[in-house]
Structure 1
Amino acid sequence: MRFAAFLTTLFSLPAMAEDAAPVVSPSTLFTGDYLLQVVGSFVVVILLLVVVLVMLKRFNGVSASIGGDLRVISSVGVGQRERAVLLQVGEQQILLGVGPGNVRRLHVFDEPAVTSAASASPSFSDVWKVATRKTGADQ
């Protein structure tokens, strides 16, 4: 009886081994569909990263107001979490130090230190017009 159980176990081991570990040939693993899926996933991740970085750059926390007498003339980062912000309030300009949890007045200018025309950045349409004129004149 023990011998029969031993023979049964001995002959069933190769059958169990085949079911447990199927052999996959390397040529069927790297098909065109698989490589397209991997490359497509990589492209999607890179595009998401670029979109997040553009959004972070665009919405940096300090923006100019839409209307009224108060507006941001300029802003510059002076540390990891600190900024210097130049505000236009009526005819005066105020330099503020902005950090986490506090805002301090650094200096009040009676006369404008920076003119608004010099601080205004060009719009995309202005840059596009200049760029298209240059390419049209070169050809």
Structure 2
Amino acid sequence: MKWILFLLAMIASPVMATVEKGVDANFGSVFASLAVVIVVIFIAATLFKKTHLIKHFTGQDIKMVAHLSVGRNEKIFVVQVGEQQYLLGASASQINLLDKLDKPLEVKQGAPANFAQSFSGMMKK
């Protein structure tokens, strides 16, 4: 946090000097505004990462219905997005859409609600 304040002070001091001298302050104010916006974006990203707020905005409507291991690093997943279900094939290097299911499978009771955690856990095994 101290280095952010130091960075702001380093940016603000030349800007303030140009404003006091009456030199074209337009460039200085644009540069200072840009610097402030970049710092605000960086602080917001850090806060999102530390407070895990990003998890609340992703994966709410995606559920894993079923999975099957078909090889050492290959798995097949049935994923429900909204009302539609998809059959996905996953390997260590890629994920492919195999089919869009016409007749949805029954969702098992106690099925994992968070697709991202379930999928990463299955890929680690």
TM range (shorter): 0.3 to 0.5
Which structure exhibits the higher relative contact order, with contacts defined as CA atoms closer than 8 Å and separated by 6 or more residues? 2
TM superposition score normalised by structure 2: 0.39
TM superposition score normalised by structure 1: 0.35
